[in-house]
């Protein structure tokens, strides 16, 4: 993208933002444009993988947020969402400029792994803390996750510019975390697009097969849907029912799940086509259902009433599958206009049509987030990620209390899960259960529509340890752990000690664990205060035994490696000493020799190096990939003059090296380069510039750096200067 294209592109973004700002009251519109200007200035010089100015991403996120119907604060946060993470902007600066609510939203979306002074031992631990931070922010303000979904949606739309493995990693995370979150919030349009785009990356063959089939059958499906819409509309108009009839094909991923998950053929799919009937009044929904069944033959067992029993995300509708006159089965969804808005926009509908959430709505919306956080407070990284995925992905069943209250549980849930879903005390005193009036085992699987009655006793001794292997909900599992943690401490300690010692012996790690130093270290790694608490945690299930064993194994291996290194070092100390020249280079076998760096390749610490014994000038140090060194090595009779050299550890010297900067000529370019180097405290010892073709320039610099890591950092920062197209290291004099 040349300078003219870049300016045209930025002008297009300016127009987009002015259009968005114009949809809000004047003061809010001004704040949106201020946020845009702030983000644009802070992302100046940064590019996306596509080569486009980075600001296009925040603007695209803001556009998606505006389409969701969220407020001006959300749009401002969308524009600023990467400033704290990827620029020198701070939370306090954003709060001062745009207010605390906007800063809280931006901070909620910012990854912990990118923040200063943060380190994690595993990728799972990073992901866990990022998710936990996001869920905590969600519990305070649900707009955090909607901004994050907009961010992820645009990243998925531009994912083709990432490397292949990165595409797969992002798509897996999207499918496992963000698409289920969109579903949980009722944002079906976002969910379908995230799923389809992820599937296209994860199984391109399956995606293409379904896309090709839909394209081949497009004409037939279109005719069928048009005819169906016309017949239903005519039927309902004759009955005097005001309605709107829509028809569409299922999403690619919805078809994929049925096709491959149930091992079906295309001809066996019942509901590729779907028709939606939207009416004014609730009573009309059931009237329309009767007319649809009068018009078409219903498929037995394929009727679902989500109006009387809404889904946990608030979705309400009547679903029925019928057979069309052409013998094609299709689904009909019947709902009111308000239900349709909820189905289309989910939680965002409250902003789009009701100006946010209020009172009991807010409590109800945040309840599942808070429950998820509370149930995972003591979880380690691996368990947290697994449990979040389980809670978000699980298919649900709807069962009733004897009073008729509806309890939502994941598929496969047991009466124990049901008891703890009512209250912890009910679960702790449970002795049995009845389903539809009949006594059942406490591990039986519950099904939708069943009436469950929990049998309790004041004389109950509490839950059993094996219940944790039976329950399906993480909430029930956590409450059982909490009971054992509180009520059975001595028993937990004894059981934990016994189990740990047995497994340590089985894994040949028992002796490694006996030292006080090792025990203290493992307690620190597991975030428990002492060995007794470690045993108690293992006993009640709060500490994963597998993680303790893994930590012991890792520390034992680390200690063994350290001992081997010490032994090697001791042996090395008895060998002839190498000399460390003032230049920070160790020359093997020579004392007090003169060392100089070759000007042909200008090596710096971090480069593999080799020495050449010169006549009268000591040792000349070259990079091992130096063309001159390779040519000299091939000359006959020179073999004995090459000597092994290496960089001394802990030595701090500055070394000269050459770099070349290329780009488009503009006023102030060289000043920006020198200012950037000055800000990085990089000394420039030589500079030479020349004009290239078509208004471009080449700038040659000799700079001083401590090592290759610092050099690469400098090259990266220089690439961010506006107009710079290439920065590379060169051989001096080239």
Mean pLDDT (10-residue bins), the chain, 734 residues: 80 91 92 94 87 91 90 92 87 91 87 43 60 67 86 93 89 86 82 92 90 81 84 89 86 85 73 85 91 90 84 82 79 90 70 50 50 52 56 68 81 90 89 92 88 90 86 83 79 87 88 87 86 86 84 87 69 51 70 75 86 77 81 69 80 84 85 86 87 81 88 88 86 51
Name the DSSP class of 348. Answer: G
Q: For position 5, what pLDDT does the model report?
A: 81
Cβ distance 430 to 416 under 8 Å?
Answer: yes
Spatial neighbors of 440 by CB under 8 A, at least 6 apart, are 415, 433, 434
Q: How far apart are CA 22 and CA 9, in angstroms?
A: 20
Active site residue 305: no
Q: For position 115, what pLDDT does the model report?
A: 38
Tokens encoding 231: 């017949």
C-alpha gyration radius of the chain: 33
Which position among 85, 203, 450, 698 bears the catalytic label? 85
Within 13 Å, how many C-alpha atoms sit on residue 352's CB side? 17
Which position among 3, 14, 86, 532 bears the catalytic label? 86
Q: For position 538, what pLDDT does the model report?
A: 86
Within 13 Å, how many C-alpha atoms sit on residue 56's CB side? 21
Q: For position 133, what pLDDT does the model report?
A: 66
Q: How far apart are CA 87 and CA 84, in angstroms?
A: 6
Spatial neighbors of 451 by CB under 8 A, at least 6 apart, are 399, 400, 401, 402, 435, 436, 437
Q: How far apart are CA 473 and CA 390, in angstroms?
A: 8
- Neighbour tally for 635: CB within 10 Å: 9
In this prediction the pTM is: 0.58
Pairing state between β 696-705 and 430-435: unpaired
Secondary structure of residue 144 in the 3-state scheme: helix
Q: For position 387, what pLDDT does the model report?
A: 58
Active site residue 11: no
Q: How far apart are CA 88 and CA 227, in angstroms?
A: 59
Tokens encoding 225: 């849907």
Q: Which bin fits 647, alpha (ψ -120 to 50), beta or left (φ > 0)?
A: beta
What is the DSSP secondary-structure string of 105-118? HHHHHS-GGGSTT-
């Amino acid at each position: 993208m040349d300078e003219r294209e870049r300016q045209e592109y930025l002008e297009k973004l300016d127009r987009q933002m002015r259009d968005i700002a114009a949809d809000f009251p004047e003061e809010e519109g001004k704040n949106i444009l201020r946020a845009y200007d702030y983000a644009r200035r802070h992302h100046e010089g940064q590019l996306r993988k596509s080569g486009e100015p980075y600001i296009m991403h925040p603007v695209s996120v803001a556009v998606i947020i505006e389409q969701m119907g969220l407020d001006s604060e959300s749009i401002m946060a969308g524009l600023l969402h990467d400033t704290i993470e990827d620029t020198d902007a701070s939370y306090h600066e954003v709060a001062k400029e745009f207010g605390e609510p906007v800063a809280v939203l931006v901070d909620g979306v910012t990854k912990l792994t990118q923040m200063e002074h943060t380190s994690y031992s595993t990728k799972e631990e990073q992901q866990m803390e990022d998710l936990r931070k996001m869920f905590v922010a969600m519990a305070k303000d649900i707009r955090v996750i909607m901004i994050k979904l907009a961010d992820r949606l645009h990243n998925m739309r531009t994912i083709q510019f990432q490397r292949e493995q990165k595409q797969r990693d992002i798509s897996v995370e999207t499918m496992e975390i963000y698409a289920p979150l969109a579903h949980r919030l009722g944002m079906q349009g976002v969910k379908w697009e995230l799923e389809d785009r992820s599937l296209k990356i994860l199984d391109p063959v399956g995606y293409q097969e379904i896309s090709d089939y839909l394209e081949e059958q497009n004409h037939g499906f279109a005719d069928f849907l048009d005819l169906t819409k016309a017949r239903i509309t005519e039927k309902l108009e004759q009955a005097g029912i005001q309605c709107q009839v829509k028809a569409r094909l299922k999403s690619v991923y919805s078809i994929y799940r049925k096709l491959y998950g149930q091992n079906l053929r295309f001809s066996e799919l019942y509901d590729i086509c779907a028709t939606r009937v939207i009416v004014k009044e609730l009573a009309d929904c059931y009237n329309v259902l009767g007319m649809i069944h009068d018009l078409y033959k219903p498929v037995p067992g394929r009727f679902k009433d989500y109006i009387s029993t809404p889904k946990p995300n608030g979705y309400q509708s009547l679903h029925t599958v019928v057979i069309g006159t052409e013998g094609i089965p299709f689904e009909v969804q019947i709902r009111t206009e308000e239900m349709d808005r909820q189905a289309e926009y989910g939680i965002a509908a409250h902003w789009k049509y009701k100006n946010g959430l209020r009172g009991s709505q807010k409590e109800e919306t945040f309840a599942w987030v808070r429950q998820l956080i509370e149930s995972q407070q003591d979880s380690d990284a691996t368990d947290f990620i697994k449990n979040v995925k389980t809670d978000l992905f699980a298919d649900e069943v709807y069962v009733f209390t004897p009073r008729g209250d509806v309890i939502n549980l994941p598929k496969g849930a047991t009466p124990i899960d049901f008891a703890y879903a009512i209250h912890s005390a009910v679960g702790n005193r449970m002795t049995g259960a009845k389903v539809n009036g009949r006594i059942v085992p406490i591990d039986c699987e519950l099904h939708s529509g069943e009436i469950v009655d929990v049998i309790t006793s004041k004389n109950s001794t509490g839950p059993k340890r094996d219940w944790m292997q039976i329950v399906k909900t993480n909430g029930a599992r956590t409450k059982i752990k909490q009971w054992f943690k509180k009520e059975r401490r001595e028993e937990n300690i004894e059981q934990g000690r016994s189990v740990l010692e047995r497994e340590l012996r089985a894994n040949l790690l028992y002796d490694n664990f006996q030292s006080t130093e090792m025990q203290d270290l493992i307690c620190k790694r597991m975030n428990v205060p002492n060995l007794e608490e470690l045993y108690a945690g293992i006993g009640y299930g709060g500490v994963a035994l597998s993680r303790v064993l893994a930590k012991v194994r890792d520390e034992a291996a680390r200690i063994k490696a350290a001992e081997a290194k010490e032994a090697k070092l001791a042996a090395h100390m008895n060998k002839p000493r190498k000399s460390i020249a003032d230049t920070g280079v160790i020359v093997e076998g020579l004392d007090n020799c003169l060392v100089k760096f070759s000007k042909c390749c200008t090596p710096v610490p971090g480069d593999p190096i080799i020495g050449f014994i010169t006549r009268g000038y000591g040792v000349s140090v070259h990079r091992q990939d130096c063309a001159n060194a390779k040519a000299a090595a091939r000359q006959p009779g020179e073999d004995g003059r090459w000597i092994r050299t290496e960089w001394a550890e802990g030595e701090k010297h500055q070394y000269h090296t050459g770099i070349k900067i290329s780009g488009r000529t503009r006023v102030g370019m060289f000043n920006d380069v020198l200012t950037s180097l000055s800000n990085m405290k990089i000394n420039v010892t030589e500079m030479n510039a020349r004009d290239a073709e078509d208004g471009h320039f080449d700038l040659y610099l000799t700079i001083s750096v401590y090592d290759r890591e610092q050099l690469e950092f400098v090259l990266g920062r220089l690439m961010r200067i506006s107009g710079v197209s290439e920065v590379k290291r060169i051989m001096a004099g080239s």
